[in-house]
Chains A and B, each alone.
Chain A
Amino acid sequence: MNLMVISLKAIMISGRTLGQGATCEAKMSPEFFRATSTCSLADSDYDALGIPEDGNVLVRNGFGEVVVSAKRDGGLPPGLIFIPMGPWANAVVGPETGGCGTPLFKGVEVEVARTDRRVKGVRELFADLPPEGPA
């Protein structure tokens, strides 16, 4: 099976959800992983990408890329995707703060594609960042 069949350009917004919020003090738990490593798409985008049931999407831009599980959200207009706030969403958020200290966590231009790659767990997301070590 192809890694990527088609992709579409989209705008990503991130934010609080009930599931993310209820597990945000338990970030090393499977519940936080399930609640936060997801990407909601409009029905038409979900269908256009040919995402299978319980399928994943690759979301990427110049800042980075991340694999997240896909789900439908009838409240989203086409071309807009939503990822709960957290390390998966922030993989594609840039560091620029526009002179006010706050990165653009919403309105991020991304490319979304169906993928067979699996979603990384929270420890895996940080595995390539060796901490500096004791002073």
Chain B
Amino acid sequence: MIVEDVLCPFCGCLCDDVKVEVEEGKIVGVKRACRLGSSKILGHERTAAPMVRGDGELVETTYEEAYDRAARILKEAKRPLLYGWCSTVCETAKLGILLAEEVGGVVDSTATVCHGPSIIGIEEKGMAGATLGQIKNRADLIVFWGANPAEAHPRHTGRYSSNARGMFTPEGRGGRKVIVVDVRETRTAKNADKFILIRPGTDYEVLSALRMIVKGKGEIVPETVAGVAKSDLEEAAAMMMAAKFGVVLIGLGLTHSRGRYKNVDNALSLVADLNGFTKFVVMAMRGHYNVAGFGQVCAWSTGFPMAVDLSRGAPYFNPGETAACDLLARKEADALMVVAADPASNFPRATVEAMAEIPVIQIDPFPNPTTLLADVVIPTAVCGIEAEGTAYRMDGLSLRMKKVVDSPYPTDEEAVREILDRVRRLGDDN
């Protein structure tokens, strides 16, 4: 049996045209997905059963026991941190935020080690945005700044941006210009009409120089800026100003480098400046397939998109203080629940060392380094393959993810609900 129009549960492209071949309840083939998506859909080693740690070793147990243990850890903690949420569906996020409120904890998502600074930059500056459909159908100039979709979003260029054929862009790549700004010549850069190689950590300076040229102050820009010849910047600015519909697609090159959210603020400012001459939009190339969705759910339920402290009676957001890495590095969090993420791999080493000192609950379909540090492990179904739910594409479009095959595992949503119910009962007992 072929299941058509499956949504891919990997990156923020959330490709919705994938074909999955199912035989006797098992996935045996995937068509149209990229290497990243195919790999996840075809499946990997799973955590077989729930586990709790006893005498230093993880020992298999029942789901009931694992939920009980998780609820007790969260209930007894003074400063629990509930982290992850981006490779699961919005229904899980909604319950996770409720659970964080119930235990007076902090809820944060993987955005804070990804495009969190983009969100802060957008809060500072505002954003001229668009859907991926608008970009596909209209954009004649694509700027990839610190983004490498050839490796991180492999179908982005073909479906939505530089190489896509749209309603008013029937020539595809031939009808568009592509600028890539990066610190190295990536595979994406090889597809560019103009590649600008900048020194690491100088995005802000280069953006400022471009803004000066666009605003008619080019005469005071020095002959080189961060290793880039002024003539290259003038050429890029001219290409941007000549576009009918331009887009800047920003990657982690901006958010993970010196300047962080200020880099994004400046990129948004460049786009605002360009709108004085032509139509220009900007979009963050979101990583996990539903990192945007957690931001949406968190924003409508707490007023903030991530790093929300729910211990004060009213939501409080101060990234740098309430983000997961900060809480752990300061050794402030005294319990950690991880849902659909792997901070042991993706956080700095010193932060991971702090994780090892506190009880860790993991809810995830797959074993990973966080499992090695976990005290309670609750394996779940893979969202978008074994469980349905809502996810938000990188442009903010909400899409319904399908259940393609049955699974013996509970969904993330069910697991979080079980823990939430137990936490509430523990509260009643007190």
Contacts and interface: CB of A to CB of B under 8 A. Distances in A.
Are A and B genuine complex partners?
yes
Contacts of B335: 135
A4 to B, nearest CB: 21
Contacts of B293: none
A100 B117 contact: yes
A105 B252 contact: yes
A51 interface: no
Interface string A94-135: 111111111111110000000000000011011001111111
B7 interface: no
B170 to A, nearest CB: 29
A134 B200 contact: no
B222 interface: no
B261 A28 contact: no
A51 B133 CA distance: 47
Interface string B190-211: 0000000100110000000000
Interface residues of B, number: 84
Contacts of A91: 349
Contacts of A94: 348, 350
Nearest to A23: B39
B201 A126 contact: no
A104 B352 contact: no
Given A15-B148, A102-B255, A126-B344, A64 B349 contact: yes
A85 interface: yes
A45 to B, nearest CB: 13
Interface in B317-339: 319-320, 322-326, 329, 335
Contacts of B368: 25, 27-28
A20 to B, nearest CB: 8
A62 to B, nearest CB: 11
Interface of B: 10-11, 35-36, 38-40, 44-45, 52-54, 56, 69, 72-73, 76, 108, 112-114, 116-117, 120, 148, 151-152, 154, 183-186, 189, 197, 200-201, 252-253, 255-258, 260-261, 287, 306-307, 319-320, 322-326, 329, 335, 342, 344-353, 355-360, 365-369, 371-376
5 contacts: A97-B329, A101-B307, A105-B113, A107-B200, A129-B356
Interface of A: 11, 13-18, 21-29, 63-64, 73-77, 80, 82, 85-87, 90-107, 122-123, 125-126, 129-135
